[in-house]
């Protein structure tokens, strides 16, 4: 391991941060024309039948084909879901512009994520042994893939569920007037959170290969993992969002245990230190 002074570490950190911010700025510029497309994708749950409506329709069809008598008694009729389009509203003159900036920032973060991960790895590299530095070939591509998978999982499964649950409260006396900024902020915050959540198995795998954690240690801390998952999810006010955040966090914890079982663990850190010469 190369030893660096405090000021050398500080200068190296400054260099890595500058490169990361430049990469993020350039990626944000490339993402600017894509922001309207991303926004339309985020608004898809407002323009399409909800997941519960689609599921109810499929169940009605299945029951009608296989159990027509029971379906008639339950009053299940395979009626296609009715689509009630919803539009977002804004009240400030430049509100759509700032929303587009936020969307470009998060999209740019996804594009620049491999560069940011690589800079993080270069900052940590001086503290690693030569054989540990080879993990960079695993850390950067799989870290990027995990972040993207977390975002895709959220946008295709979790986000429509949250919006459909919210719109289910509409009635003749109650209708939604969703604000553009609040809607997009809520989505982007959860999008980044799910990207980070899906990084947990990779983080625990690297720590396990470095000998800093073991599978037995993670198995013994399952109750604490459940508690921490609930605490992190508790920052969201509604029960539905808390649930859809807490479950993936703990699921990724179990995936980490499975990965350590399949891939194996490294030797403890003390065992990897070179022996001191005699005398």
Q: Which two tokens stand for residue 95?
A: 């509100």
Q: How far apart are the first and last CA of the chain?
A: 23
User: What would the pLDDT profile of 269-279 be if each residue is shown by its tens digit?
Assistant: 444 444 444 44
Say if residues 259 and 204 touch (Cβ distance below 8 Å): yes
Average pLDDT in the 210-232 region?
A: 89
> What backbone torsions phi and psi does residue 278 show, to the nearest 5 degrees?
-65, 145
Full-model pTM: 0.80
What's the pLDDT band for 240 if we cut at 50, 70, 90? confident
What's the pLDDT band for 268 if we cut at 50, 70, 90? low
Per-residue pLDDT at 264: 67
Per-residue pLDDT at 184: 94
Per-residue pLDDT at 57: 78
Does position 107 have pLDDT exceeding 90, yes or no? yes
Say if residues 225 and 255 touch (Cβ distance below 8 Å): no
How wide is the angle at C-alpha 169 spanned by C-alphas 91 and 88, nearest 5°? 25
User: What would the pLDDT profile of 139-153 be if each residue is shown by its tens digit?
Assistant: 788 889 999 999 999
| Residue listed under structure tokens 């919210």 | 166
3-class SS letters over 218-254: HHHCHHHHHHHHHHHHCCCCCHHHHHHHHHHHHHHHH
In our burial notation (b when 16+ CB lie closer than 10 A, e otherwise), range 240-252 reads ebbebbbebbbeb
Alpha-carbon span 75 to 86, nearest angstrom:
29
Does position 3 have pLDDT exceeding 80, yes or no? no
User: What would the pLDDT profile of 5-62 be if each residue is shown by its tens digit?
Assistant: 777 778 888 999 999 999 999 999 999 999 999 999 999 988 887 666 777 778 888 8
What's the pLDDT band for 71 if we cut at 50, 70, 90? confident
Residue 155 is given by DSSP the state I
Q: What H or E segment, with its residue span, contains residue 89?
A: none
The domains of the chain are located at 6-266
């Amino acid at each position: 391991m190369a030893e660096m002074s405090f000021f050398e570490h500080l200068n190296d950190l400054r260099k890595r941060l500058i490169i990361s911010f430049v990469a993020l700025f350039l990626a944000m510029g490339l993402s600017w024309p894509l922001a309207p497309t991303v926004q339309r994708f985020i608004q898809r749950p407002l323009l399409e039948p909800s997941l519960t409506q689609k599921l109810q329709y499929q169940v009605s069809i299945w029951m009608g084909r296989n159990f027509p008598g029971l379906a008639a008694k339950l009053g299940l009729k395979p009626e296609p879901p009715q689509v009630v389009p919803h539009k977002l509203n804004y009240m400030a003159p430049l509100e759509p512009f700032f929303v587009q900036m936020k969307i470009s920032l998060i999209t740019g973060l996804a594009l620049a994520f491999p560069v940011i991960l690589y800079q993080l790895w270069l900052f940590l590299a001086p503290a690693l042994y030569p054989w540990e530095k080879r993990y960079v070939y695993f850390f950067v591509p799989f870290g990027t893939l995990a972040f993207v998978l977390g975002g895709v999982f959220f946008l295709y499964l979790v986000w429509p569920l949250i919006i459909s649950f919210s719109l289910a409260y509409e009635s003749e006396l109650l209708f939604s007037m969703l604000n553009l900024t609040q809607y997009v902020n809520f989505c982007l915050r959860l999008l980044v959170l799910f990207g980070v959540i899906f990084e947990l198995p990779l983080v625990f795998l690297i720590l396990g290969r470095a000998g800093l954690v073991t599978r037995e240690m993670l198995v013994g801390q399952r109750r604490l993992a459940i508690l921490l998952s609930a605490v992190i999810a508790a920052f969201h006010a509604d029960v539905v969002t808390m649930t859809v955040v807490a479950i993936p966090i703990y699921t990724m914890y179990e995936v980490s245990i499975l990965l350590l079982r399949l891939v194996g663990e490294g030797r403890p850190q003390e065992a990897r230190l070179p022996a001191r010469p005699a005398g």
